[in-house]
Structure 1
Amino acid sequence: MSTVYSVEVPDAPTIPGEGKPRRNPFFDELLKHPPGVTTLWENFLHGLKESDGGNFLGHRPIENGVAQPYVWQTYPEVETRVINLGSGLRKLGLKPLSRLGLFMLNCPEWTLSELASYLHNFTTVPLYETLGIEAIDHIINETSMEYVITSHAKAQYLLNEKESLPTLHTIIVVDHIDQNLIEYGKSLNVQVVDFLKVEDEGSQNRVKPETVKPDDIATICYTSGTTGLPKGAILTHSNFVALVASLTSLAEKGKFFDVSKNDVHISYLPLAHVYERCNQAVMVYSGAAIGFYQGDTLKLLDDIAELKPTIFISVPRLLNRVYDKVLAGVKAKGGVAEWTFNSAYKQKKALLSRGIVNHWLWDRMVFAPVRARLGGRIRAILSGSAPISPDVLDFLRICFSADVYEGYGQTENAACVTISTYGDTVSGHVGGPQPCVEVKLVDVRDMGYTSQDKPFPRGEICVRGYSVFREYYKNPEKTEETLDKDGWCHTGDIGLWDSNGRLIIIDRYKNIFKLAQGEYIAPEKIESIYQKHELVSQVFVHGDSLQASLVGIIIPDSEALLGWARKNGFADKSYKELCEEPKVKNYILQTITKFGKEHDLKGFENIKNIYLSPEPFSVENDLLTPTFKMKRHQAQKHFARQIEIMYFEIS
């Protein structure tokens, strides 16, 4: 008898145009929080007890440019520092419920600052450079932010922007601080303070912690909109501890990996995003150790080799890289080595259908060097943030002999919608609902997806429950678009329920999507920039969530292209022939890439390959609506072959 991963909610009404809500089958009611843990500070206190005084936060000191072995702070040591830091921030004038900006790479000071905020009821607001200057200014100003904890380099960045940041008056620097920076701050009426001095001040002037309630705001996490400025999702303490309750309760039932004080997690995914903050909340609850990377992803494998983590939580972009490198290395060896690897791989893949990820011989003979790439101790791997190829999931199970899970969630639901479970080695789905939420599919008739589809119901994924955000900060219009009157969060993703009640993501409803590395893309914004160039008449930007880059269909401006051709040795070619000429394609690609950078497109927003089409998008060929808007779904189908070729060319 096959396992069922979701069940319809008993007595749920039948509503036309949508399927019935589904819940996790292993729990009778939605889980709200772990026993005795209703806030993130209580979450830390639980971990403090579980840790038995063990290691908590580790980092690698850099001496003469060389990373040294990890240096650790224990849970009790961190508790003392957090109490001191919280008191110090209060003495600086930071009040409960005020916004505290966190603007730095992952490091122990980030977690110390976050825990101090949970103790004194500050609201953290992450900032990150990839948003761009305009977005950072917007976040600081919209939240009336007065205090930011940051690094020296980013402190300089903020001071340079001070004219646009009227509320900012105190910057706490976590690494090194010099007199020049302090004086620069003074000249702008900004107090620049050393992080350790704030701690020291707090140790001498303890301030009574604030009482924090479950529904108090833990963070305002800004996420990209379809166009324009980012919007801030308000997430409460209750949202985060609901996720902790879900995963730890699944583990207790043997449906997920169980985290303990003996586990080690490497923190390199950005703490400015919800995904890694949720990961850390689960680690903290169980008293596990967290080692931070150096801050350079190019040196991540070196950090992993030194740390030897037991749990590896990642995103498809990095896991795809491991997959590509291993298989390329096998192919380069050739001969007997390649034959042996492929034979062992084939045998272990056959075992996956029976839920088996270990093999007594091949794990020692063939796959041990692969496991060593991630330190050799990995027992569980979790992929999230964006969809991952089934082939890569199979590869991870085979080569690392580890339990591999895939999760699905968003900022707006504290990264918590569905999760695959222990023993399920079938790839291509994201599991059943987390125990703290219920999920339903709503018809999207203009795309042909309905809850009555056969063999499987399809529709927009909607989620309701304890992990769902409260609202977008100061943005009722966007809140109303995402949260309906019954509390359902409309994700914009299209899914289907398979025969076992697992969710499969098949499409995107809203005109925004993620690339494989988890970056949000607003294609219309990119298209509007490219279309400003004289060589571009029309453009369709496409992204595949299993790919790390964008491609595009471009309709060149015929007059501009023919004029360029006459001056560059292509005068004898027609417009259609020019569109087929590789040198013309390469020239246009290089030109618009440069143009995009000049117009502030980030690296991941620039398209990496193009197809030149001589046929304009029109109402007649069903690529434009009667009001001349791009029919994205139709364009994707129309150019499916060209899109496949473009990705093959850049792979």
Structure 2
Amino acid sequence: MAQPTDVSPSSPYRAVDIALQELSSSPFPECRTLDDLLVRAVRIYGAKRCLGTRELLREEDEVQANGKVFKKVLLGEYKWTTYEEIFTRVTYLGSGLLAVGQKPRSNILIFAETRAEWMIAAQACFKYNFPVVTLYATLGEDAIIHGVNESEVSHVITSAELLPKFKSILSKMPKVTHLIVMCDSQTISKADFPSNITILSFAEVEVIGAEPDNIRTPVTKPSVNDTAVIMYTSGSTGVPKGVIISHGNLMAGMSGQIQRIEGLGPMDTYIGYLPLAHVLELSAETASLSCGVAIGYSSPLTLTDQSSKIKKGSKGDVSVLKPTLMAAVPVIMDRLYKAVWDKVKSGSPFSRALFHFAYDYKKNSLEKGYDTPLFNRILFSKIRQLLGGELRMMLSGGAPLSEKTQRFMNICFCCPVLQGYGLTETCGAGTVTDVSDMSTGRVGPPLTCCEIRLRDWVEGNYLTTNKPFPQGEILVGGGNVVQGYYKNPEQTKKDFTVIDGINYFCTGDIGQFEADGSLRVIDRMKDLVKLQHGEYISLSKIETVLKMSPLVDQICIHANSTQSVCIALIVPNQKNLTELAGKIGITGKEFEELCADEKVEKEVLKEMANVGKKSKLEKFEVPAKLKLCTEIWMPDTGLVTDAFKLKRKNIEEKYKPSLQRMYSFA
């Protein structure tokens, strides 16, 4: 747990085991920079499995009942490379990049989906001191142009799938000279690319680097303060900002994370599928590699047996890999929660009653500190198989996880779900719950790499002197707090501050420290809206409550100070909305027609009121009107980030006429 370092209400909290000592700065005393971690791992785990990718056996079209055609894949087993083999490839790639003109301490862009080559490229850059610029693979053209031009990269490492994105915009990125593509040289189509752009395959650069005249050790070995990554945020507001992360920042962050993940080592297998351009995945995979963990790669489209690209009857990646460790964002856990409950509801009355009895019994047992081995083996083992059956720990980050979903994952998947709190600006590190902590809704005590203090926010009445617990804006301080924003001194000055010689990031989140020093995130300054009659409402709090309804797949609450009520935009669950319509006598309509039907809309509004009442929302927190949206909000729509955080301004702009109409009738 954690404790304040002195008696002042605004005193920083530190993990109990380092409260009066220095904050941790490295996972291992002998390692100072990221390349040191790989060297150490190769020395200890050289012949062990390192990175794995499933073999693509074939791809085929599958015609759906509505006539639409979806691409489906049939995948084989995982093919593995060892730590020694990866180290050789890293050396060849880094030497090859030097040979084709990449300079130490000059930025280089990795723009690709999560895969083994992404990590190999990153490790080569860490070793040869090329600062890695990251951009989400789903970003639009304007954001890509902004990131490339601002960071002044000349060399871009990308995938064959994303290469076409560059065709139409290369003329707007004058400094780019080289495109290195993750594919075989035979599959690269160089047509329509300007003649002044050199296009090479990943393998070709490795071959160049392996030539006796080219292979070399790093010209300039990185130092603790050298930039490792310029990570562009997903831009939930405005253009993405580049966050400057040094080797020392990432090392500090991982030192805290590794300490909290009990038994992390070569017996573990981690499944990598979240975007490596996100700090949560990058730090999780780098930490895994440093401890000898095998990483098997996946994607959200092939993750489970039911994933959209998996051919019916064949196995998804978790079923084949059987990971012991997994990171997830709340939206993925919420989907698992709803999928399991839908299956339970479709069972016989006896099976439903048995499941509910077992669920409630285990819930009560866990809250008293006991497990239920018999129920785990007989009733919950089938649910565990949805994620491979071997998971011993899950980490949730990126957004708040609802208490219902967290408890559900603990019970049904028979493994602890560790909630973490961190941001890109803190290298993803801040807090992680203890394995033994069976409470929900909390994000745990500070990690050993940082301290956290609360700062009064008088306007919202969040004060460090509040009883029974101190409350205020969360400030994270320590070696994991980054250098600031790239070429943006104004924003850096606004969001970062130095207190008692420690660099702090001002998060804008509101938290409270509870009696045992565990942090609970209770609000967000930007999400807090004052209604016409003076009541404050938290948009994200309402969304977290209402999205637990089986009718809701995605939700955005909207409010402003000129109105006395809030309203909602909801992407409904198609199956459950159809069932609801049937109950009120509406049948035979397409999904789009149901979403536009006023009677259906009213029934959904009633359901939202019921869910809000059960969760003790105030009357003014329950939406007065809503719109059912037929379009799923995916990152490529520009309405959510890659971590599925809402881009509120974009959503507001897209649905502006609907919002105005709802307010006029509310």
Q: Give the structure-2-normalised TM-score.
A: 0.77
From 278, 282, 288, the counterpart of 1:283: 288
SS of the equivalent of 2:209 reads helix
* Distance apart, 1:502 and its partner CA: 0.8
1:452-493 CA deviation, whole Å, 9 max, x = no partner?
111111100001101000110000000011101432210010
Mark the runs of 5 or more structure 1 residues left unpaired by the alignment: 251-255, 513-522, 524-539, 557-579, 618-641, 643-651
* Distance apart, 1:601 and its partner CA: 5.0
SS of the equivalent of 1:182 reads coil
Q: Is the 8 A contact 1:181 1:192 kept in 2?
A: no
From 484, 500, 503, the counterpart of 2:516: 500
Report what 1:207 is aligned to.
216
Report what 2:66 is aligned to.
none
* Distance apart, 1:180 and its partner CA: 7.1
From 377, 385, 396, the counterpart of 1:372: 385
SS of the equivalent of 1:281 reads helix
Q: Is the 8 A contact 2:326 2:393 kept in 1?
A: yes
Report what 2:470 is aligned to.
457
Is 1:355 aligned with 2:369?
yes
71-80 or 603-612, which moves further after superposition?
Answer: 603-612
Q: Is the 8 A contact 2:183 2:203 kept in 1?
A: no
From 30, 38, 41, the counterpart of 1:44: 38
Give, in whole Å, the separation in 1 of the partners of 2:294 and 2:353: 40
From 68, 79, 89, the counterpart of 2:76: 68
Give, in whole Å, the separation in 1 of the partners of 2:350 and 2:123: 54
* Distance apart, 1:296 and its partner CA: 2.4
| Change in 2 beyond 3 A, CA 1:294/1:430 | closer
| Change in 2 beyond 3 A, CA 1:584/1:428 | closer
From 221, 225, 246, the counterpart of 1:236: 246
**Identity rate, percent:** 32
Counterpart code for 2:230: I
Report what 2:128 is aligned to.
120
**Which structure 2 residues correspond to residues 419-498 of structure 1 after superposition, within 5 A?**
419-486=432-499, 487-498=503-514
Give the total of aligned pairs: 553
580-589 or 266-275, which moves further after superposition?
Answer: 580-589
From 165, 168, 172, the counterpart of 1:164: 172
Q: Is the 8 A contact 1:553 1:611 kept in 2?
A: no
Give, in whole Å, the separation in 2 of the partners of 1:248 and 1:598: 33
Report what 1:629 is aligned to.
none
From 50, 58, 65, the counterpart of 1:56: 50
1:592-616 CA deviation, whole Å, 9 max, x = no partner?
989x999965696437997777877
| Change in 2 beyond 3 A, CA 1:272/1:464 | same
Give, in whole Å, the separation in 2 of the partners of 1:88 and 1:126: 20
From 167, 191, 197, the counterpart of 1:190: 197
* Distance apart, 1:224 and its partner CA: 4.4
| Change in 2 beyond 3 A, CA 1:597/1:459 | closer
Is 1:23 aligned with 2:28?
no
Give, in whole Å, the separation in 2 of the partners of 1:412 and 1:387: 17
Q: Is the 8 A contact 1:156 1:181 kept in 2?
A: no
Q: Which runs of 4+ in 1 moved over 6 A?
A: 580-588, 590-594, 596-600, 607-617
Report what 2:316 is aligned to.
302
1:415-447 CA deviation, whole Å, 9 max, x = no partner?
011110121111110000010100000011111
Give, in whole Å, the separation in 2 of the partners of 1:447 and 1:225: 26
1:267-326 CA deviation, whole Å, 9 max, x = no partner?
001001111001012101111100001562535871110110011211111111111111
Report what 1:552 is aligned to.
558
Give, in whole Å, the separation in 1 of the partners of 2:318 and 2:626: 41
Q: Is the 8 A contact 2:249 2:480 kept in 1?
A: yes
Report what 1:509 is aligned to.
525
| Change in 2 beyond 3 A, CA 1:159/1:6 | same
Counterpart code for 2:23: L
Give, in whole Å, the separation in 2 of the partners of 1:614 and 1:472: 39
Counterpart code for 1:25: V
82-91 or 176-185, which moves further after superposition?
Answer: 176-185
* Distance apart, 1:120 and its partner CA: 0.2
Q: Is the 8 A contact 1:458 1:495 kept in 2?
A: yes
Q: Is the 8 A contact 1:316 1:387 kept in 2?
A: yes
Report what 1:343 is aligned to.
357
1:128-170 CA deviation, whole Å, 9 max, x = no partner?
2433211110000001111111112322211220111111110
Report what 2:619 is aligned to.
none
Give, in whole Å, the separation in 2 of the partners of 1:295 and 1:387: 20
* Distance apart, 1:179 and its partner CA: 8.0
Q: Is the 8 A contact 2:139 2:636 kept in 1?
A: no
Q: Is the 8 A contact 2:257 2:429 kept in 1?
A: no
1:171-190 CA deviation, whole Å, 9 max, x = no partner?
001124458732433x3411
Q: Is the 8 A contact 2:510 2:523 kept in 1?
A: yes
Report what 1:9 is aligned to.
5
Give, in whole Å, the separation in 2 of the partners of 1:431 and 1:600: 32
| Change in 2 beyond 3 A, CA 1:599/1:219 | closer
Report what 1:146 is aligned to.
154
* Distance apart, 1:243 and its partner CA: 2.1
Counterpart code for 1:7: Q
SS of the equivalent of 2:276 reads coil
* Distance apart, 1:342 and its partner CA: 1.2
Q: Give the structure-1-normalised TM-score.
A: 0.79
1:368-411 CA deviation, whole Å, 9 max, x = no partner?
10111110111111111111111211111111221221100000
Counterpart code for 1:9: T
| Change in 2 beyond 3 A, CA 1:215/1:327 | same
| Change in 2 beyond 3 A, CA 1:407/1:598 | closer
599-608 or 192-201, which moves further after superposition?
Answer: 599-608
SS of the equivalent of 1:69 reads strand
Give, in whole Å, the separation in 2 of the partners of 1:231 and 1:167: 20
Is 1:390 aligned with 2:403?
yes
| Change in 2 beyond 3 A, CA 1:613/1:443 | farther
* Distance apart, 1:26 and its partner CA: 1.4
1:71-91 CA deviation, whole Å, 9 max, x = no partner?
000101001111111100000
- Kindly report the root-mean-square deviation, in angstroms, between the aligned alpha carbons of the 2 structures: 3.2
Give, in whole Å, the separation in 2 of the partners of 1:117 and 1:309: 28
Give, in whole Å, the separation in 2 of the partners of 1:459 and 1:265: 36
Report what 2:566 is aligned to.
none
Q: Is the 8 A contact 2:249 2:481 kept in 1?
A: yes
